[in-house]
Structure 1
Amino acid sequence: MIIIVMGVSGSGKTTIGKLLADSLEWEFSDADNFHSPENVEKMRCGIPLSETDRMPWLQDLQTAIKQWLQENKSVVLACSALKDSYRQFLLLDSDRSANAKGDRIKLVYLKGSYELIQARLQERSNHYMNEKLLGSQFNTLEEPLDTISIDVAQPPQIIVQNIRTALEI
């Protein structure tokens, strides 16, 4: 099974994803590590990525998801996946028949207010994604309708437990 933990930058995808993976004794992967150096530099400079910039990143993520499914791996993937088209692309050809039933890929949306996430980003200094891009992240975000939505205002351990309860794992 693959669990994609999604949301805007600062929503806690990496923190929650790592804690969730640890609690399940699964692998953890961060979609940030799939970005090209050019994309990282753009984001570091506060320049939003274009659709053209994102496509190789999405293709690499889709390839990784396919491989994990083929190898029957259990992985938690932290990935912004802000648009529905990005989420659909990541699932495309991964395992459509099984995924249509929702057995192999689960999506968890970490949802928080602009103010809360902005405050988190202002405290963060070790990441290339800065607070300047938060507005564009929220503008790009297409909230998923058919997934587990978790309030990020709660403590991380509670969030992880809520995810496990919702997924019954």
Structure 2
Amino acid sequence: MPMPPLVIMGVSGSGKSTVAEHLAARIDGGEYIDGDDLHPESNVAKMSAGVPLDDVDRAPWLTAVGRAMAASHAEGRTPVMACSALKRMYRQRILAEEPEAFFVLLDVARDELVRRMHSRRGHFMPESLLESQLATLEPLLGSEPGVTVPVQGPAPDVVERVVALVVAAR
């Protein structure tokens, strides 16, 4: 089934990478891309030190996210990007590079986010930054190309819900 270039978005701990990986494997021509891999070292160093990124820090990263999606799409693949994309202006910056991008906001209860972040190891994003991410998150507006998906159950169930909602919205 044809799918648009997808941005699996949400705060840290929402399952972006897991859902995006499963989704890319489920879609014909799907290509998983982890937005975290596109951060410049200076951003990773700030986050590792527990310092939230500001809009200036994020700008070149978001351009890189959109360009990576556009390149994948131009080569005939369907990019499935794991990227926080917390603010409307961030999503607009991605859309400026990949106008067909479609956003999937993973909606996870705060207590579950804390549990997930507390249990993961080796990730540069400390649990202490969760509150700043939740404060920054701007839910999708009806005018934005995207859907909000409540995250409940195992990843394969969430992926099926994502597919159904994306197909219904398009």
Report the TM-score when normalising by structure 2.
0.88
Please give the alpha-carbon distance, in whole angstroms, between the structure 1 residues aligned to 2:135 and 2:34.
22
Query: What is the identity, as a one-letter code, of the residue corresponding to 2:132?
Result: S
C-alpha contact 1:116 1:153 (8 A) present in aligned 2: no
Map of 2:107 onto structure 1: 111
Residue 85 of structure 2 corresponds to which residue in structure 1? 81
Instruction: Provide the residue aligned with 1:100 in structure 2.
Output: none
Question: Which consecutive segments of 4 or more residues in structure 1 shift more than 3 A?
Answer: none
1:111–1:152 Cα contact (<8 Å) kept:
yes
* 1:134 paired to 2:123: no
Unaligned runs of 5+ in 2: none
- TM-superposition CA deviations, 1:79-100 (whole Å, max 9, x none): 00000000011101533xxxxx
Query: Higher mean Cα deviation, 63-72 or 42-51?
Result: 63-72
1:12 equivalent in alignment to 2:15: yes
Unaligned runs of 5+ in 1: 96-103
**Which of 20, 24, 30 is matched with 1:21 structurally?**
24
2:68 maps to 1:57 = no
Q: Identical aligned pairs, as a percentage?
A: 36
Stretch moving more, 51-60 or 114-123: 51-60
Question: For 2:49 and 2:151, how far apart are their aligned partners in 1?
Answer: 27
Structure 2 Cα separation of the partners of residues 41 and 105 of structure 1: 28
Contact 1:107 1:148 in 2 (8 A): yes
Which residue is 2:36 aligned to? 32
Where 2:165 maps in the other structure, the secondary structure is helix
Tell me the TM-score normalized by structure 1. 0.89
Give the alignment's Cα RMSD to 1 decimal.
Answer: 1.5
